[in-house]
Amino acid sequence: MKTGSEDRNGMKQYLEEIMEQLKFPEASRDVFRKTKQKIDESAAWKKEFETVKEIFRKCPSIAIVPLLKRMEGLADEMKIHPYTIHLLFYLEESEFLKQRYQENGVEERWFWESMKDLKIKLMECLEVYGVSGTRAGHWHSGFFVDRIALGRLQYEPRTFEGDFYKKNGYVVNRGDMVINIHIPSGESLTQEKCFESYKIAHEFFSPLFEQGKPTVFVCDSWLLDPESDTFLPPCNITRFKHNFDIINSRVDEEFHDKWRVFGKDYNKSIDELPRKTSVQRAYAEHLKQGGTVRTGYGIFLFDGEKIL
C-alpha cells in the first residue's frame, strides 16, 4: 500500500508530466505547482480536495456544478482564483481518465488529443482574464463521460434534435443517434484538417451505426450562422459551415461567443474592437451596422471519404 507521501509525490510527478506534455507556459506551471503544494500542506484543504476528486471518480456523469462550487469555496479559503483550482482538479483527474482509456482499448494518442483542451482553455483564460486556470469548469467533465477529440475536432454521441432530415435516400428522425461536433480554438480550421478528423471519427463511431450506413454528424454553433456569408469574406469559418445543411437557427440576443473573435477586448465599444484580422474586421463592421449573429444547427452524412 502506498503511503500518503508516496501518493503526493506520484501526483506531483504526474502533474509535471502532463504540464510538460501539453506544453503549459512555465509561469502557469509554477502557479499550479504552488497551488498543489498549498493544498498538500493543509490537512483540511487536502481532505476537501481529495473528497471532491473521489466523488467525481465514482460517478463522472454526476452534476458537476455542485462540485465546482465546493472547489470555489476551497479557493476562497485559500485566497486563490477559483479558475486555477478548477483546472488543477482536471489536471489531476486526467490520470484517472488515462487509465479508463487504457482499460477500454482507446489509443493513447486520443487521450492526449482530448487533453489538449486543458491547454486550450488555459490559454483562453490567460488571454481573456489574465488567470492561469479555466473559465469552463463545467465543460471539461464531458471528456470523462463521452466526449473525445479525434484530430482537429471534438465529438460526442447525441440524439438528433431536428424533426426530420432526408438526403440521398437516407432518413434521420428526431431521437436518432448522431455525432455532435465541437470546434476548439487553438488551430486553424482548414478543410483538410476537418476531413481528416471526420474520417477518424467515422471509423471510431462506426459501431454506433448500422454497417454500411453513413455517420450522421451535427453541430450547433455560432460558426454555422446561416447569414454569415453576407458579411464574412471566404474563410475557414464559411468553408466549415458549408459542410452542413443548416436546418435550424436562432438569433443570439447577445453575442455570447464575441470573446472568441475579439479576445480580451470583446467588451470594448464597437468602435474600439480590434480589427487585426479579416474576420475581426468583418464582425466589427457587421455589429456596427446593427447586425445580429445567429447560432445554426446543421447536419451532414459522411461515408468515410466524402459528404453525401
Residues 183 and 264 in one domain: yes
Which percentage of the chain shows pLDDT scores above 70?
97
At 4 the pLDDT is: 45
Q: Please check the confidence at residue 152 and state whether its pLDDT lies above 90.
A: yes
At 8 the pLDDT is: 62
* pTM of the predicted protein model: 0.92
Residues 12 and 107 in one domain: yes
Distance CA 221, CA 256 (A): 11
pLDDT, average across residues 105-114: 95
pLDDT, average across residues 72-87: 97
Residues 191 and 62 in one domain: no
Q: Please check the confidence at residue 2 and state whether its pLDDT lies above 70.
A: no
133 CB-near residues (< 8 Å, 6+ apart): 81, 82, 83, 84, 85, 86, 87, 122, 125
**What is the chain's Cα-based Rg?**
21
Q: Is 307 inside any structural domain?
A: no
The answer to whether 174 and 219 are in contact (CB under 8 A) is: no
Distance CA 292, CA 217 (A): 26
Q: Cell 488567470 belongs to which residue?
A: 131
Distance CA 144, CA 88 (A): 15
At 254 the pLDDT is: 84
The answer to whether 162 and 174 are in contact (CB under 8 A) is: yes
Which percentage of the chain shows pLDDT scores above 90?
88
Q: Please check the confidence at residue 294 and state whether its pLDDT lies above 60.
A: yes
> pLDDT band at residue 6, thresholds of 50, 70 and 90?
very low
Q: What is the DSSP track for 284-308?
A: HHHHHTT--EEEEEEEEEE-SSSB-
The answer to whether 85 and 78 are in contact (CB under 8 A) is: yes
Residues 168 and 194 in one domain: yes
Residues 136 and 92 in one domain: yes
Distance CA 150, CA 158 (A): 16
Residues 114 and 198 in one domain: no
Range of the domain at 298: 149-302
> pLDDT band at residue 256, thresholds of 50, 70 and 90?
confident
Give the pLDDT confidence of 20-69 residue by residue, as tens digits: 999 999 999 999 999 999 999 999 999 999 999 999 999 999 999 999 99
> pLDDT band at residue 1, thresholds of 50, 70 and 90?
very low
Residues 171 and 265 in one domain: yes
Q: Output the domain CATH number for residue 180.
A: 3.40.630.120
Distance CA 79, CA 46 (A): 15
> pLDDT band at residue 308, thresholds of 50, 70 and 90?
very high
Higher pLDDT, residue 1 or 87: 87
Residues 141 and 176 in one domain: no
Q: How many CA atoms lie within 13 Å of 248's alpha carbon, on the beta-carbon side?
A: 11
At 3 the pLDDT is: 41
Domain count for the chain, please give it.
Answer: 2
Q: Is 64 inside any structural domain?
A: yes
Give the pLDDT confidence of 160-202 residue by residue, as tens digits: 999 999 999 999 999 999 999 999 998 899 999 999 999 999 9
Distance CA 75, CA 35 (A): 10
Q: Please check the confidence at residue 110 and state whether its pLDDT lies above 60.
A: yes
Residues 193 and 141 in one domain: no
At 7 the pLDDT is: 63
pLDDT, average across residues 200-228: 94
The answer to whether 194 and 240 are in contact (CB under 8 A) is: yes
pLDDT, average across residues 263-273: 90
Q: Please check the confidence at residue 73 and state whether its pLDDT lies above 90.
A: yes
Pairing of strands 293-302, 245-252: antiparallel
119 CB-near residues (< 8 Å, 6+ apart): 22, 23, 24, 186
Residues 196 and 130 in one domain: no
Give the pLDDT confidence of 113-132 residue by residue, as tens digits: 999 999 999 999 999 999 99
Reading the block at residue 272, the C-alpha cell is 474600439
Distance CA 157, CA 155 (A): 7
Least confident of 76-90, 173-187, 257-271, 290-304: 257-271
At 253 the pLDDT is: 83
